[in-house]
Amino acid sequence: MPSVHIRAATRRDSARIAAMANALNRHHDMDDTLFTAEGVERDGFGAHPAFSCLLAELDGAVVGYAMYHECFNSDLAARGLWLVDLFVEERVRSHGVGRRLMAALARESLACGAASLWWGVDTGNAAARRLYAQLGADDYDYRLLEMDRAALERLARQDAEPE
C-alpha cells in the first residue's frame, strides 16, 4: 500500500499548488491559466493570507491538495471552515488520498474551534458525492451563487451615495 502523508503547504509549494489548481479548473472545463506560482504565494502566504492549504504526498510526491479558509456559520453561531478545493491527481484516485485530506481537514477544523466544515460539489460529480457521503457529510439541495467582478462593479454602482 502506498504511503500517503498530509502536510501544511509552504511558500515553496506555490508552483505545485498553482499547477494542481489549474488542473482542477481544466477538469471542470474552466480557464486553466488563472493560477500562477506568484499569485498563490501572494494570496496564500503573504501578509494577509486568503487561504490555507494542505498537501497530500504519495511516496514523497505531491499528488493532491485541500484549499480552505475560515468562515462563520450563522446557522450554528460558530466558526467554520470552507473547503474551496479538493483535488487529487487522477492517476492516484482510489488510493485514499482524498479521504486522508478530508480527515486532516476535519482535524484542522476541530483544532481551530470550528463547529462545521462546508463545501460545494458539482451535482453531476457522483464519485465525489459518494466519497463525501461515506465520510458522513450531509448532501443538502442548496445552490451556490456567485457574482463575478463585472457583476460586483455593476451592483456597487447601484444606489451609491452621491459624493
Q: How confident is the model at residue 18, as a pLDDT?
A: 96
- Global pTM reads 0.87
CB 15 within 8 A of CB 65: no
Alpha-carbon span 9 to 114, nearest angstrom = 20
What percentage of the chain carries pLDDT values higher than 70? 96
Of residues 72, 88, 116, the one with CA closest to residue 6: 88
Alpha-carbon span 9 to 148, nearest angstrom = 28
Residue labelled with grid coordinates 496564500: 44
Does residue 163 have a pLDDT over 80? no
Helix axes 126-135, 97-111, angle to 10 degrees: 50
